[in-house]
Structure 1
Amino acid sequence: MNNRTFYNEVLTEHNLHPAHKHELENANMTCEGLNPSCGDDIWVHLDVDDNGIIQKGAFEGDGCAISQASADMMFDLIIGKTKEEALRLADLFLKMIKEGHLSDEEMDELEEAASLQDIAHMPARVKCAVLGWHTLKEMLTGETDQANPQPVSTENH
């Protein structure tokens, strides 16, 4: 199966049947990400335990197929990981989109999210693909990505 077909199948499946798009009761971290250029709006919710392990995660909001599918793939990767591991995965994903490539080992770490690699060559869709990942990163670090500033409000309970 060629990469384009795999990309389309994965994107469609995560967009039409997102496993992680729902309200998350008892979330202790919540952050909103907004892409003002297209109107995509996402709320990222996490339940992180005292050891810094992401026990549960979900998202809510509206956006294009790419933003919604990318966020769903992100949660597939980060649930069960520490905050530090989740940040590393976010950095890998953002590097893949920004630079258009990663090592084979890094691509393997991203699992299905690696199928979005070609978005690096679609400038109009880059902000869609990275919205959830930037929101996660800002929530976990408290830092705004100055290269891609987006209005984001964070609420930690």
Structure 2
Amino acid sequence: MSSNNLDQLYRQVIMDHYKNPRNRGILEDGNLTIDMNNPTCGDRIRLTIKVEDGIVSDAKFEGEGCSISMSSASMMTQAIKGKKIDDALKLSKIFSDMMQGKEYDDDIDLGDIEALSGVSKFPARIKCATLAWKAMEKGLKEEEKH
């Protein structure tokens, strides 16, 4: 597939998650709530996560922001459901490396998340893409301490 076609496909995936977000809302029975914002551009997110026996059993988000931040939150909540805390944090590290243009473990199927890889070419937008992931990391690291 040509680079142009791939970019177009990735844009479509990002816009699909933006217009039809997965896991939007608040978990009433979640045991973690993390609020974060990006003062640079005004993106804000509230992430609620339910962890049971060291596994992320559910995750939802609400907030407002650009298509990149909201679609990234949608993709992230899908990706971490059913994962052990360590695996969700490892996925976050891989995502962070991808955003910084570093080599990352490509043995792991990132699914829709890979559509955000092009954001690394736009340094001003990296914070948009990583906001939800930073919120998830903060919450799960707190949970690990307990």
Task: Give the TM-score of the pair, scaled to structure 2.
Answer: 0.90
Partner of 1:126: 126
- The residue type paired with residue 65 of structure 2 is G
User: Which of 11, 19, 34 pairs up with 2:14?
Assistant: 11
- Deviation string 1:39-58 (CA, Å, 9 cap, x unpaired) is 10101100111x11111110
Aligned equivalents of 1:117 and 1:6: distance in 2? Answer: 12
Shift of 1:130: 0.4
Shift of 1:100: 4.8
Task: Give the TM-score of the pair, scaled to structure 1.
Answer: 0.84
Aligned equivalents of 2:25 and 2:19: distance in 1? Answer: 13
> Do the aligned partners of 1:101 and 1:117 also contact (CA within 8 Å) in 2?
no
Unaligned runs of 5+ in 2: none
2:93 aligned with 1:102:
no
User: Which of 69, 74, 77 pairs up with 1:75?
Assistant: 77
How do 1:5-154 and structure 2 match up within 5 A?
5-49=8-52, 51-106=53-108, 108=109, 110-142=110-142
Unaligned runs of 5+ in 1: 143-157
Structure 1's 104 and 84: CA in aligned 2 closer, same or farther, altered over 3 A? closer
Aligned equivalents of 1:59 and 1:103: distance in 2? Answer: 27
Which SS does the other structure have where 1:141 is aligned?
helix
Which SS does the other structure have where 1:128 is aligned?
helix
CA RMSD across the alignment: 1.5
Runs of 4 or more, structure 1, over 2 Å off, are: 99-104
- Deviation string 1:64-123 (CA, Å, 9 cap, x unpaired) is 1100000100011100111111000001000100125434314x2x21101111100101
Aligned equivalents of 2:103 and 2:11: distance in 1? Answer: 19
Q: How many residues align?
A: 140
User: % of aligned pairs identical?
Assistant: 37
